[in-house]
Amino acid sequence: MNGLTGAYVPGGSPLHRLPAGAKLAGLAACCTVLVLLRAPVSMAVAALVVGVLFAVSGVGVAAAWAQVRPVRWFAVALFAMQVVFADLPSAITSVSRVVLAVALAGLVTLTTRTEAMMAFLERCLSPARWVGLDPFRLSLLLSLTIRSVPVMADLATRVREAQRARGVEWSVRAFAVPLVVSALRHADALGEALSARGLDD
């Protein structure tokens, strides 16, 4: 659990310079259009547009592929299914829709710093103010979660090793109960430490 970093590729393209909110709004609009498009020809046009956007961003082929790669088997399965149950044109449309949407979303991720995106999304979460969660606590929530991921991962590893030593590694219960109990203990100790560090004042 070392690489808790985003997939951001540094660069100075117009896409890099757009604010995160604008890119997200654009992404939402594009995805809506993609869902509305029906003909394979319009998908070809859409694919061309996406290709141009990637070229403009200059993130490189490897980074682009890394974004689309996770859906490759799904795309194959979807294509096969659509060919069998529907017809070739709708198979092409369905698959390109998924792949293009994922690619576009990936493009936003590749051209937006994790911090910039986080700052924007943090603002989106501001309705949480209604339950008394002020902006400072909200950003603390995010940092604390990033900090806690490796701690929980270590905890899971330790619990699993302990269960293996006892020879009960097959039991989900023997793994999960101690894990959840330790997680809760840890959480409550963390809460106390936050109080000690003056979060309540």
Contacts (CB under 8 A) with another protein, residues 50-109: 67-68, 70-71, 74, 78, 81-82, 85, 90, 93-94, 97-98, 101-106, 108-109
Residues 142-171 that bind another protein (CB under 8 A): 142-156, 160, 169-170
Q: How many residues bind another protein (CB under 8 A)?
A: 96
- Which is nearer to another protein, 46 or 117 (by Cβ)? 117
- Which is nearer to another protein, 12 or 173 (by Cβ)? 173
Instruction: Please give the full DSSP string across the chain, using - where no structure is assigned.
Output: ------------SHHHHS-HHHHHHHHHHHHHHHHH--SHHHHHHHHHHHHHHHHHHT--HHHHHHHHGGGHHHHHHHHHHHHHHS-HHHHHHHHHHHHHHHHHHHHHHHHS-HHHHHHHHHHHTGGGGGGT--HHHHHHHHHHHHHHHHHHHHHHHHHHHHHHHTT-TT-HHHHHHHHHHHHHHHHHHHHHHHHHTTTT-
Residues 11-50 that bind another protein (CB under 8 A): 24, 27, 31, 35
- Which is nearer to another protein, 131 or 165 (by Cβ)? 131
Contact between 131 and another protein (CB under 8 A)? yes
- Which is nearer to another protein, 61 or 197 (by Cβ)? 197
